[in-house]
Amino acid sequence: LAKTTQPISMDSYEGQEVNITCSHNNIATNDYITWYQQFPSQGPRFIIQGYKTKVTNEVASLFIPADRKSSTLSLPRVSLSDTAVYYCLPGRDTGRRALTFGSGTRLQVQP
């Protein structure tokens, strides 16, 4: 399993764009990169998944460089409700396999 490194915490203000970068230097060729979000007192929920280049959905964008040794989750114009812990998880078939969570990044959005 690819080991991940993320900032432990980040602070932002409402309306700003937040970029969270995750390093996964030994990612396997077949691994996708999946990001999960966990609000306080809730279970994690899937945000976005990608293999390379850029993926965008209604919640976030995911940027993956050509060497795939890192990925950046981009949250446009954050609000207070985006305060959560964000986890990046490289792996295959992450829907059907047990997940290995790293320490994640605790994002605090302030007014």
Binding site for another protein (CB under 8 A): 34, 41-46, 49, 87, 94-104
CB of 1 to another protein, least distance (A): 12
Closer CB to another protein, 97 or 111, in the complex: 97
Q: How far is the CB of 36 from another protein (least distance, A)?
A: 8
What's the min distance (Å) between Cβ of 15 and another protein? 29
With respect to another protein, which residue has the nearer C-beta, 95 or 111?
Answer: 95
Residue number, 77 or 92, with CB nearest to another protein: 92
Q: State the minimum distance, in angstroms, from the CB of residue 6 to another protein.
A: 11
User: Do 90 and 6 form a contact (C-beta atoms < 8 A)?
Assistant: no
Q: Are 111 and 13 in contact (CB under 8 A)?
A: yes
